[in-house]
Amino acid sequence: MAKKDYYEILGVSKNATESEIKKAYKRLAMKYHPDKNQDNKAEAEAKFKEVKEAYEILTDEQKKAAYDQYGHAAFEQGFGAGAGGFGGFGGGSAFDDIFSDFFGGGRGRGGHGPSRGADLQYNITLTLEEAAAGVKKEIKVPTWVSCDTCHGQGTEKASDVVTCDTCHGAGVVQMRQGFFAVQQECPTCHGRGKVVKNPCKKCHGEGRIQKTKTLSVTIPAGVDTGNRIRLSGEGEAGLNGAPAGDLYVQVQVRSHAIFERDGSNLHCEIPINIALASLGGEVEVPTLNGKVSLTIPAETQTGKMFRLRGKGIKSLRGSAMGDLYCHVVVETPVNLTNKQKELLKELSESFKADKSSKHSPKEKSFFDKVKKFFG
Ligand SMILES: [Zn+2]
Ligand SMILES: [Zn+2]
């Protein structure tokens, strides 16, 4: 079911200021407050929730940016879920939803010392068809993963992980610089607060090993060059069981032989011959979902544009479909047979005989202007 636009819910414009948004929220929250709607409590409560959600998204800078770019898709659960066979090491949350980048998913970022794994970037190139319809892609990413022998702990026995003597488990040490006490990352345990006594043989105590991961990425319909999909926790595993970094899948959409893309709209050229352009008729035009028939009216000129509604690309935000614009190009015939040349000569003679020039309105007005110019 299509969700209502957040701006619409609050009754504000897309470029409303924060204070306008707050004002609208206050007014609606009062209106739908369950205490004030004893008669239709359920309905009011649902409205109230809707309003509250819209308000919370639109007053959070990051969430608002995500919503403006991707619409409700930015917050849909299960976006990017369904990674084939990659059970979450270190807590099971292998996949957050794709765009959780924008609203801080479950895993706190930055709060974990320095040994958090590095983020990775994977560049993926899609055909226009794939980008338009959405696609599931398997990708192979060389990375560091948590060691399966020691489960990322760097040692096989839990008792071999002991509190760091240098910092007594704090992960930081106090250094004195002149009058000031400065906190620094503990040089012994690198901020973990713990050290490993008998390092794991497989990963030499690092808690991670190099491996090429195969991941399945769900690319939502409507993506375009420059869009980035974040797979939370699929970057490099951290040292000694520290959290993994994230994997960013950077999208690049290949140019297409027929269609040119402009956001969610498509453009294509439709060459037609002079006979069809003059007399009118039907042509088959390509769309991303197969051919459709287009009626060319009689006396169609080069440059005429026909819009096929809804034959473009689904927009990433919301379910709106773009359009397909067909640009007519009238083509001069080539490789003519003698018979065809004869026919054209005959046509030309008949144009000459008909002195009014009414068959070429543009040509007539052009020569009129030329005459005036020199006259
Ligand atoms: Zn290990
Ligand atoms: Zn330490």
pLDDT of residue 104: 32
Ligand 2: distance of its center to the CA of 194 in Å? 6
Domain count across the chain: 3
Going by the DSSP 8-state scheme, the letter that residue 245 receives in this structure is -
Same domain, 230 and 365: no
Ligand 1: distance of its center to the CA of 238 in Å? 12
Q: From 284, 293, 287, select the one nearest 313 (Cα to Cα).
A: 287
Indicate which ligand has the atom closest to the C-alpha of 168.
2
Indicate which ligand has the atom closest to the C-alpha of 173.
2
pLDDT (mean) for 146-164: 85
Residues of the chain with pLDDT > 90, as a percent, come to 41
Domain boundary among 254, 279, 305: 254
Q: Residue 81 — pLDDT band, cuts 50, 70, 90?
A: very low
Q: Which residues surround ligand 1, an ion (CB under 5 A)?
A: 147, 149-150, 200, 202-203
Q: Residue 245 — pLDDT band, cuts 50, 70, 90?
A: very high
User: Which range is least confidently modeled, 77-81, 180-184, 340-344?
Assistant: 77-81
Highest mean pLDDT among 43-47, 134-138, 172-176, 350-354 belongs to 134-138
Ligand 1: distance of its center to the CA of 88 in Å? 17
Ligand 2: distance of its center to the CA of 185 in Å? 8
Instruction: Decide if pLDDT at 77 tops 60.
Output: no
The answer for residues whose C-beta is within 8 angstroms of residue 177's C-beta and 6 or more apart is none
Q: How far is CA 254 from the centre of its chain?
A: 15
Q: Residue 91 — pLDDT band, cuts 50, 70, 90?
A: very low
pLDDT of residue 76: 55
Distance (Å, whole) CA 247 – CA 69: 20
Indicate which ligand has the atom closest to the C-alpha of 198.
1
65 within some domain: yes
Instruction: Decide if pLDDT at 285 tops 80.
Output: yes
> How many C-alpha atoms does 274 have within 13 Å on its Cβ side?
9
Ligand 2: distance of its center to the CA of 177 in Å? 20
59 within some domain: yes
Indicate which ligand has the atom closest to the C-alpha of 147.
1
Domain boundary among 32, 64, 95: 95
Ligand 1: distance of its center to the CA of 156 in Å? 7
Ligand 2: distance of its center to the CA of 240 in Å? 13
Ligand 2: distance of its center to the CA of 245 in Å? 22
Instruction: Decide if pLDDT at 118 tops 60.
Output: yes
Q: How far is CA 235 from the centre of its chain?
A: 19
Instruction: Decide if pLDDT at 176 tops 60.
Output: yes
Same domain, 147 and 232: yes
Q: Residue 98 — pLDDT band, cuts 50, 70, 90?
A: very low
Q: Residue 71 — pLDDT band, cuts 50, 70, 90?
A: confident
Same domain, 328 and 274: yes
User: Which range is least confidently modeled, 60-74, 159-173, 253-267?
Assistant: 60-74
Q: Identify the domain containing residue 325 by its residue range.
A: 260-373
Which pTM does this prediction carry? Answer: 0.57
Instruction: Decide if pLDDT at 204 tops 50.
Output: yes
106 within some domain: no
Indicate which ligand has the atom closest to the C-alpha of 240.
1
Same domain, 240 and 143: yes
Ligand 2: distance of its center to the CA of 184 in Å? 10
Ligand 1: distance of its center to the CA of 212 in Å? 17
Greater confidence, 116 or 122? 122
pLDDT (mean) for 234-251: 88
Instruction: Decide if pLDDT at 279 tops 60.
Output: yes
Ligand 1: distance of its center to the CA of 7 in Å? 51
Ligand 1: distance of its center to the CA of 117 in Å? 16
Distance (Å, whole) CA 64 – CA 21: 12
Average pLDDT over the chain, rounded to whole? 83
Give the Cβ contact number of residue 286 at 10 Å.
17
Same domain, 125 and 86: no
